[in-house]
């Protein structure tokens, strides 16, 4: 049972007319920017990995903007609301994934200077045994994340302005599909730069405004008297969620093509610096957002859906200004994640599904124009699938997103072992991913969403080490240097 009483929906802070105006302004702006930056995508390499020439400023900005998803701005408050202080701090541990991926991104760029996707690495490193489960996990997670982002857009607009959930969700998704379709990775990274600035400035303004309205000591006193468990150091579910979320973050960034495609897009030597800076910039954001969740029970604000607590508290305390700021921040965070998912997942499907199928049937690889056509089709297909699933509005953002937690966490050890060591082989990778996924999902359903990733990563690691010890191989990393040339 949620620690807050489910009350009737609060009245929206903005009227629907203002919501539609804001939605139209930002929708037109992002589509126009996508068209502007997309002019540089003359080749498929430009469309998919921005010509492999992204510098430190844009690289850091796109990492920050993509990692500041609606999950950061909406789930961090939900975690604090349901799990207390440990919940907010637990969500902040996702920054460790950015820190850890910093050196990994450099290793990826060195091993595969012509690569496009994470699945290419797995296919080359582990063969068909690793390729099949990793591809399925990658596609499932990408769709799960895309659906959760689309749901967040609909929930946000409904809570803040009264725009019906199906309308808001549909418009947000359609805008992102359109500008990603026109500009590819150039449009994604260009808009991410602006979105990251807007998000950071907006969150700072919201945080300062909240702190000027509510005293931290008052919130602490109210929680201590009415909901002391939210402040407890020994809150079992919260402690498990802390480690669960940290491992989920590792699995998410290590396996997802969203982050691999950026590693391939950045200039050589830029990736490690960009991801390290992004981690430091992102770290305080969920802590600030989490304070909104802690303030809700202390301020007697009724919450009908836990994953809307952040926007609702900010808008309630700050009125129209708060609703406007939250609208802008969350809309930008949504767009920066949805566009990245669309572009990176389309690259993965074109490079690792359509191209091999085309080669098997026709005997020749897809040419540049063919890849662009299939990219267009794939982006539209992904948008349609996400819309159909998100339209159902089933579950909270946490339950939808963390359902894929055991899957992505089970990929951590096969990826790290495959990148740095010669001994791990195909059977070790496949058995680790499959066993971690299955046992983690059992834990997800039998115990809760806050332990699935933890169990999945643990089981996967044990199996991976055991099978590697029993069946060691000798892999030659030099074979990977030409991967991507003919993809």
Mean pLDDT of 16-33: 86
Mean pLDDT of 457-479: 93
Assigned domain for 211 exists = yes
Assigned domain for 431 exists = no
* pLDDT, position 8: 35
CA–CA separation, 31 vs 24, rounded Å? 11
According to the per-residue pLDDT averaged within each range, which of 201-205, 209-213, 407-411 is highest?
407-411
Structure tokens at 452: 């699935």
Assigned domain for 94 exists = yes
Assigned domain for 455 exists = no
* pLDDT, position 321: 75
* pLDDT, position 306: 66
Window from 39-43, 146-150, 377-381, 443-447 with minimum mean pLDDT: 39-43
* pLDDT, position 471: 94
Q: Where in the sequence is the domain holding 129, given as residue range(s)? A: 16-394
* pLDDT, position 119: 93
| Tens of pLDDT, residues 321-380 | 777 777 787 778 778 788 888 988 999 999 899 988 888 888 777 888 888 889 999 999
CA–CA separation, 449 vs 33, rounded Å? 38
Q: Positive or negative CA dihedral for 335, 338, 340, 343?
A: negative
Cα 257-260-261 angle, rounded to 5 deg: 80
CA–CA separation, 343 vs 185, rounded Å? 6
Assigned domain for 289 exists = yes
* CA quadruple 362, 365, 366, 368: dihedral, nearest 10: -150
| Tens of pLDDT, residues 432-463 | 999 999 999 999 888 877 788 889 999 999 99
| Tens of pLDDT, residues 217-246 | 777 677 777 776 666 666 776 677 777 778
Higher pLDDT among residues 285 and 274, named by residue: 274
Mean pLDDT of 48-64: 87
Q: 52: domain CATH number? A: 1.20.1730.10
Residue 81 clears pLDDT 80, i.e. is over it: no
Assigned domain for 468 exists = no
* pLDDT, position 397: 57
Q: How many domains does the chain have?
A: 1
Neighbours of 154 (CB within 10 A): 23
* pLDDT, position 304: 62
| Tens of pLDDT, residues 417-434 | 999 999 999 999 999 999
Exposure of 375 in the CB half-sphere (CA atoms within 13 A): 29
pLDDT band at 486; cut points 50, 70, 90: very low
Going by C-alpha positions, the residue among 447, 161, 132 that lies closest to residue 323 is 161
Assigned domain for 92 exists = yes
Residue 95 clears pLDDT 60, i.e. is over it: yes
- Under DSSP, the state recorded for 302 is -
Assigned domain for 405 exists = no
* pLDDT, position 356: 86
């Amino acid at each position: 049972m949620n620690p807050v009483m489910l009350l009737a929906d609060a009245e929206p802070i903005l009227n629907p007319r203002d919501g539609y105006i804001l939605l139209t302004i930002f929708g037109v702006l992002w589509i126009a920017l996508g068209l502007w930056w997309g002019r540089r995508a003359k080749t498929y390499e430009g469309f998919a990995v921005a010509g492999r020439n992204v510098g430190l400023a844009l690289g850091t900005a796109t990492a920050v903007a993509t990692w500041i998803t609606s999950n950061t701005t909406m789930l961090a408050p939900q975690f604090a609301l349901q799990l207390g202080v440990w919940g907010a701090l637990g969500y902040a541990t996702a920054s460790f994934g950015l820190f850890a991926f910093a050196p990994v991104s450099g290793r990826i760029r060195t091993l595969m200077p012509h690569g496009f996707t994470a699945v290419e690495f797995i296919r080359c490193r582990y063969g068909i045994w690793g390729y099949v489960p990793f591809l399925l996990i990658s596609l499932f997670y990408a769709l799960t994340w895309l659906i959760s982002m689309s749901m967040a857009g609909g929930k946000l607009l409904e809570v803040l302005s009264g725009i019906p959930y199906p309308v808001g969700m549909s418009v947000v998704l359609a805008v992102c599909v359109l500008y990603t379709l026109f500009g590819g990775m150039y449009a994604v990274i260009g808009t991410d730069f602006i979105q990251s600035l807007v998000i950071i400035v907006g969150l700072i303004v919201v945080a300062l405004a909240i702190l000027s309205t509510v005293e931290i000591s008052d919130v602490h006193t109210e929680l201590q008297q009415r909901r002391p468990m939210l402040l407890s150091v020994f809150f079992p579910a919260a402690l498990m969620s802390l480690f669960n979320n940290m491992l989920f973050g590792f699995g998410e960034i290590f396996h997802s093509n969203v982050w691999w495609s950026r590693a391939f897009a950045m200039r050589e030597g830029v990736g490690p610096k960009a991801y390290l800076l992004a981690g430091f910039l992102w770290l305080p954001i969920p802590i600030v957002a989490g304070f909104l969740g802690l303030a809700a029970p202390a301020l007697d604000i009724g919450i009908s859906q836990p994953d809307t607590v952040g926007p609702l508290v900010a808008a309630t305390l700050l009125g129209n200004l708060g609703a406007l700021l939250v609208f802008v921040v969350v809309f930008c965070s949504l767009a920066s994640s949805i566009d990245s998912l669309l572009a990176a997942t389309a690259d993965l499907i074109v490079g690792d599904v359509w191209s091999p199928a085309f080669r098997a049937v026709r005997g020749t690889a897809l040419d540049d124009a063919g890849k662009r056509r299939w990219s267009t089709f794939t982006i539209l297909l992904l948008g349609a699938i996400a819309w159909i699933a998100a339209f159902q509005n089933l579950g909270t953002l946490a339950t939808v997103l963390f359902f894929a937690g055991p899957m992505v966490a089970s990929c951590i050890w096969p990826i790290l072992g495959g990148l740095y060591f010669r001994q791990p082989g195909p059977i070790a990778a496949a058995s680790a991913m499959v066993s971690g996924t299955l046992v983690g999902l059992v834990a997800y359903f039998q115990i809760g969403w806050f332990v699935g990733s933890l169990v999945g990563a643990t089981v996967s690691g044990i199996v991976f080490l055991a099978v590697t010890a029993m069946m060691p191989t000798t892999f030659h990393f030099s074979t990977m240097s030409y991967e991507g040339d003919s993809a």
